[in-house]
Amino acid sequence: MALGQLLLAVLLMAAIAQSPMASIAIYPSGYAHVAICEPVTASYQVNISLIGRPEGLTVIYSNGSPVPYTVSNGSVLLTPDANGTVCVNYYTFSIVVKNPIAWSANFTTPYAAELILPYNSSLVYMNSAPAGASVVNDTLILDLTPGHWDISYVMPPPSTAPPPIGVPGRPSSAYTYWDIAAVAAIAAVAVAVVAAIRMGRGMRRGPSTARDPDDRIIEFLRRSGGSATEAEIRRALVIPKTTCWRAIKRLEREGKVRIEKRDKENVVHLG
């Protein structure tokens, strides 16, 4: 199952107990997938605030049916015609930035949120302690309360000897070994608490470790009979042009696809 589909499935289950609920999955490129799910009542207008500037936004019921909507001042406005759960699903480049030392996720969420950091990344700074944390398949998942969050992480993990680390708004000289140790201690306690809670209620399913968008491209090509143009892939999967082309070239180097130039257009075939 693709990561976006998995996030929606998790949020649909969470929305039953908590309304609304957001999930933010950050990819190694800094691109982020955001899903916000909320139970709705027919004929009552709903205003869902967005986290970051959206790209490729869709709004659907839990059964996959589309929901008419408008976007205004950073919010999705809709009037549902049936009872159920509505999910707003989109990508954004606006909440993560790269500085010379680390990546920084900086955003405000009006909802309780689940933040999924990139696979095998290491947390180095948070402006506040999370409500909970867990590690699934070397992927750190943070449970965040509503409010403003400033979170820094590095990829790949730092060496065992702590390097001088700086984060936005804080000089490297002020960020010491004990700062790193304090963050690690907070994360360890949070992981222990969440693990104890989940032992009682059952472990929730972790995020997919499949590469994105590589596996989504392969899956789309299979559904499309083994071939599709680059433009068709971008439109169907809502992937930026540069990101899509890099993924296709990566798959070509691995022998999973081959590229054919046809009438000034790239046609991608399964290898």
Residues 186 and 253 in one domain: no
Ramachandran assignment for 201, one of left (phi > 0), alpha (psi -120 to 50 degrees), beta (any other): alpha
Residues 88 and 166 in one domain: yes
Residues 125 and 226 in one domain: no
Instruction: Examine the pLDDT at 225 and tell me if it is beyond 90.
Output: no
User: Looking at the domain assignment, is residue 207 inside a domain?
Assistant: no
Residues 238 and 109 in one domain: no
Residues 38 and 75 in one domain: yes
On whether the CB atoms of residues 144 and 130 are closer than 8 A, the answer is: yes
Residues 112 and 133 in one domain: yes
Residues 140 and 22 in one domain: yes
Beta bridge partners of 89: 35, 58
pTM, entire model: 0.54
Give the angle subtended at the CA of 209 by the CAs of 206 and 215, to the nearest 5°: 130
Residue 196 to residue 192: CA distance in whole angstroms = 6
Last residue of a domain, one of 173, 201, 229: 201
Any idea what the CATH number is for the domain that residue 227 is in?
1.10.10.10
Helix 214-223, helix 241-253: angle, nearest 10: 80
Residues 246 and 165 in one domain: no
Instruction: State the pairing for strand pair 75-78/70-72.
Output: antiparallel
Residues 77 and 17 in one domain: yes
Give the residue among 144, 254, 241 at the shortest CA–CA distance from 190. 144
Residues 35 and 75 in one domain: yes
Report the range out of 16-20, 146-150, 244-248 with the highest average pLDDT.
146-150
Instruction: State the pairing for strand pair 103-109/96-98.
Output: antiparallel
Any idea what the CATH number is for the domain that residue 79 is in?
2.60.40
70-103: string of b/e by CB count within 10 Å (b at 16+)? ebeeebbebebeeebbbbbbbbbeebbeeeebbb
* Cβ-proximal residues to 217 (8 Å cutoff; 6+ apart), any chain: 233, 237, 244, 247, 248, 251, 257, 268
On whether the CB atoms of residues 194 and 144 are closer than 8 A, the answer is: no
Count how many domains the chain has. Answer: 2
Structure tokens of 82? 């049936």
User: Looking at the domain assignment, is residue 79 inside a domain?
Assistant: yes
User: Looking at the domain assignment, is residue 208 inside a domain?
Assistant: no
Give the residue among 258, 271, 268 at the shortest CA–CA distance from 232. 268
Give the model confidence (pLDDT) of 46-88 as tens digits. 999 999 999 999 999 888 889 999 999 999 999 988 888 899 9
Residues 75 and 32 in one domain: yes
pLDDT at 241: 82
User: Looking at the domain assignment, is residue 45 inside a domain?
Assistant: yes
Q: Which domain range does residue 258 map to?
A: 214-270
User: Looking at the domain assignment, is residue 62 inside a domain?
Assistant: yes
* DSSP string for 237-269: HT--HHHHHHHHHHHHHTTSEEEEEETTEEEEE
At 234, the pLDDT band (50, 70, 90 cuts) reads confident
Give the model confidence (pLDDT) of 209-220 as tens digits. 446 788 889 988
Instruction: Examine the pLDDT at 19 and tell me if it is beyond 70.
Output: no
Instruction: State the pairing for strand pair 147-154/122-126.
Output: antiparallel
